[in-house]
Amino acid sequence: MNLNKLKEAEASFFAFYPKGFEDEALLPIIKRHNTAKIGQSVREMFAPDNFAKTEQICESFAKIVSKSSLVSLFEKPKVRDMVKQLSMEQQDMLSIGLFELLHANQEKGFEILVDILSTYKLAKWSIVTLIPYYYARDKDFFIKPTTTKDIIKFFEISGLEYKPKPTYAFYTRYKKVLLEMKSQVSPMISQDNAGFTGFLMMAMK
């Protein structure tokens, strides 16, 4: 990772936005994405005790995808339709996958979610990583394909090759790199992980 580019990006960002993501110039963007409020909803919807209600968990999954500004308008109706079409067994698997992803074995949950979504040709990075990001915005990352490819190239991150199909191996390696990059910049731009990758995206323009 090119630390000089990262520090240059940080300096440039603060030149435009001295208060970081609390700067008034960025408030319209923050308000549009509303990640804090959606994150609170996700923590309530996907709390461990709620997983006894499988159908509700599946409906909550579709609801958050529909509400999120991070997911393309093209994908939202497809996810809603998928949830309506799920068999009882598939509902159980989706619920189990989300529980593992958020509360138990993240790798197992990641793979279950990819398997279920693959059946409907919806195993996309943006859909797989959305709920974990909202649930723990300081820990997990929302992966947007174009941004991810550009970050790897621009910041000269070695040992990472982006592939369209989500894999846990790539996710863990990429997350480790992003957390290291976060540790090198001010907390004013690194508290929210989508905000941090948004900062990196802005730096590349």
Q: In this structure, are 60 and 116 located in the same domain?
A: yes
Residue 143 or 27, more confident: 143
Report, as an integer, the average pLDDT of 10-19: 88
Tens digit of pLDDT for each residue in 117-132? 999 999 999 999 999 9
Residue 28 lies in a domain: no
User: Does 155 map to a domain?
Assistant: yes
Both 94 and 157 in a single domain? Answer: no
Per-residue exposure over 78-100, b if at least 16 CB sit within 10 Å of its own CB, e if not: bbbebbeebeeebbebbbbbbbb
Asked which of 110, 135, 160 is the last residue of a domain, the reply is 135
Domain count, the chain: 2
**Which pLDDT belongs to residue 6?**
94
Q: Quick one: pLDDT at residue 56?
A: 96
Residue where one domain finishes, among candidates 113, 135, 157? 135
Kindly state whether residue 27 falls inside one of the protein's structural domains. no
Residues 111 and 145 in one domain: no
The phi and psi torsions of 201 (rounded to 5 degrees) equal -65, -45
pLDDT value for 125: 96
CB 134 within 8 A of CB 38: yes
Query: Rounded distance, CA 118 to CA 4, Å?
Result: 39
Domain that holds residue 164: 3-22+141-203
The residue assigned the tokens 């004013």 is 188
User: Could you report the per-residue pLDDT of 95-120, keeping only the tens digit for each?
Assistant: 999 999 999 999 999 999 999 999 99
| Cβ atoms of residues 114 and 123 within 8 Å | yes
Separation of alpha carbons 45 and 67, rounded Å: 14
Q: Is the pTM of this model over 0.85?
A: yes
Q: d(Cα 197, Cα 180) in Å, to the nearest integer? A: 13
Residues 14 and 56 occupy one common structural domain:
no
Q: Say yes or no: 115 and 187 in one domain.
A: no
**29 domain residue, yes or no:** no
Residue where a domain terminates, one of 117, 135, 153: 135
